[in-house]
Structure 1
Amino acid sequence: MFRCFFKDDCSGFECVYFMKHNYDIFEKFKEFEARMKNKFQLTIKTLRTNNGTKYCNKAMLTYLASQGKQLETTAPYTPQ
């Protein structure tokens, strides 16, 4: 079982999703985005993540670009 964790820096809202497969993270991100919009009337402008392939894949990059959102990644091997 895999888990993904999303946190909104603006509101401090945190959400954990449990998944059967690691590649389900794209759908969970869209679910989190919809939850933020419904709950706080906020839109996500930037997604900050490590350089993991689960976030930096073609589907995610295409979706973020089509929505006008920016992807910020950390330097490799820096968990901070």
Structure 2
Amino acid sequence: MNHTFKGTPDSRQSDDAAIPTSRFRPRYRALTDDEKALHDALKDKASELEALIEKVKAGRYRALALTSLEESIMWTVKELTS
């Protein structure tokens, strides 16, 4: 399998810009270099915030905060790749 960020689409990516929208998206459109950079920046900032949150004592609220962070990045990346 090719690495998706090396510029070579694997079987999950398509160069077709008119991929039909699907809730479960079995195939993704290839990202531009700017979109790849934005994707990486989002994940890097999320990792920074995760490290800060983990400095708070363990408990239910910290767990909820981490879950919310994961969810927000998931939705943002889903929008970016749509």
TM-score over 0.5 for the alignment? no
What is the TM-score when the length of structure 1 is the normalising length?
A: 0.25
Q: Which has the higher helix share?
A: 2
